[in-house]
Amino acid sequence: MIALRTLLFLYLLILFDGCTGTTNNEDSDATKRPFNFVILFADDLGYGDLGVYGHPTIRTPRLDKMAGEGQKWTNFYVGASVCTPSRAALLTGRLPVRNGMTSRINRVLFPDSDNGLPAEEITLAEQLKKAGYATACVGKWHLGSKEQYLPTNNGFDYYYGIPYSNDMDNVADMKAIGGYMKFWSSEAHRSINSFNVPLMRNTEVIERPANQHTITKRYTDESIKFMAEHKSSPFFVYLAYNLPHVPLFASETFEDTSPRGLYGDVVEEIDYNVGRVLDTLTAMGLAENTIVVFTSDNGPWLIMNQEGGSAGLLSNGKGSTWEGGMREPCIFWSPGNIKPGLVTGIGSTMDLYTTFSTLAGVPIPNDRVVDGVDLSATLFKGDPSPRNEMFYYRGDWLYAVRVGDYKAHYITQEAYEPEFTRHDPPELYNISVDPSEKFDIAADHPEIIEQINEVVRKHNEKLIKGPDMLKDRGNQKLN
């Protein structure tokens, strides 16, 4: 009798499912809407600047929680160690040397730079537009400040932010203060009026100088508003905070609250606003349909002393091709999708281009070299990362190459010193064993150097460098 009742119950259950048209897998690919994508990009944040990456006094509870619920990557790289080429790498999925967004003359774009991101480059926003995504860029752009180079001409429906670094348009009297570095130890650098940086909405300047005390909150407000307005369709939000790049400004709520001082105030305010983004996605019921990634554009600006960040145990910082210049904290979050855990495999901001395009069902352009790889299997299944190589460029010169655990330095140079040293054979470090790059083991491993040399040979064989888009400023052409 019990068996008969059980069979009858199963029959009715199957009949009910058939009548309602449902399946036991309600989250099947056929019914699930496309992923939204949110990139949270800090500026000059070091590898060691978050609690979850080991900082002892900067409190980042929301990013720590985000890492616990998602994936924390410990070998994640940017495409360059300074702002402009790094951002170009993220948004095009390509090494900046390929599109000319890197230079040995001017390492970044300036307010009077003639050029910007080439029109023929296909940005991640343009990729996602092909799949019907609404797209917004909020925050620092730094890929060209003339109208034809702004986000709204590069695939973004909406732009709210500053067009270049927050220390540019410096109108302080440097001569009276005693020079650039003395300026940063004077009270003048703590005034927003020393930096005549424009805040823009689309192509219109709406505030100048931008009030940088409130800018982190306002960037987050604009991003939340955009997500709310487009919650019924897939969206891509690129939220690029222009801090903790100097000059440092915190809101009244966060100023003088961190044991780490003003730098800590700024990072803790970013952490709080990251939490606001995640809470908003959860409240709107979009957390399970959104992939959020948090990282930074390059390592800490160490020459700024206490107003610069920390690379933790990594060597050097911003401007260099040592690990501290290009290896960044990176956290992926998407409840029910991202497999939580610690990922020690290699990843890059360039991989976001390929991964997000693939998840959106958009083919990768086949008329150019795209350097990003698809990280989907690592994110969703916990498979090993498919990336095994990383190229470290400074300008259009290749300084170092990582293959697996090993990194060869062909050229070394301090971040902001003109002298450089070529190495033949290259210096060699096992950066899984020696992440601080202290122990050169080249003499012990000629076979590994030969293996990396072969990777370099194949890379150079197919490399076509783009024309230098950063060298020309103020209509003064340089040969």
Give yes or no for a contact between 124 and 223, defined as CB atoms under 8 angstroms apart. no
Alpha helix stretches (DSSP H) within 109-260: 124-129, 174-177, 180-183, 215-229
Nearest alpha carbon to residue 168 among 208, 136, 138? 208
Cα angle 400, 402, 403; round to 5? 140
- Give the separation between CA 200 and CA 448, rounded to whole angstroms: 50
* Distance from C-alpha of 33 to C-alpha of 91, rounded to nearest angstrom: 24
How many angstroms separate the CA atoms of 244 and 85, rounded?
18
Q: How many angstroms separate the Cα of 72 from the Cα of each of 130, 331, 350?
A: 30, 5, 17
CB-based contact 42:241 (threshold 8 Å): yes
b/e map of 270-296 (b: 16 or more CB within 10 Å)?
A: bbbbbbebbebbeeeebbebbbbbbbb
Spatial distance between the Cα atoms of 15 and 176, rounded to a whole number of angstroms = 85
Catalytic-role residue among 142, 230, 245, 409: 142
Structure-token pair, residue 201: 């909405």
DSSP code for 470? S
Pair 18, 12: CB distance under 8 Å: no
Please calculate the CA angle 315-104-418 and round it to the nearest 5 degrees. Answer: 55
Active site annotation includes 19: no
C-alpha count within 13 angstroms, C-beta hemisphere, residue 448: 20
Give the list of residues 6+ apart from residue 140 with CB closer than 8 angstroms, or none: 43, 83, 161, 162, 164, 165, 166, 240, 241, 242, 245
- Considering the candidates 83, 245, 330, 409, report the single residue annotated as catalytic: 83
Residue 84 three-state SS: helix
Are the CB atoms for 57 and 260 separated by under 8 Å? yes
Active site residue 83: yes
- Known catalytic residues are 83, 142
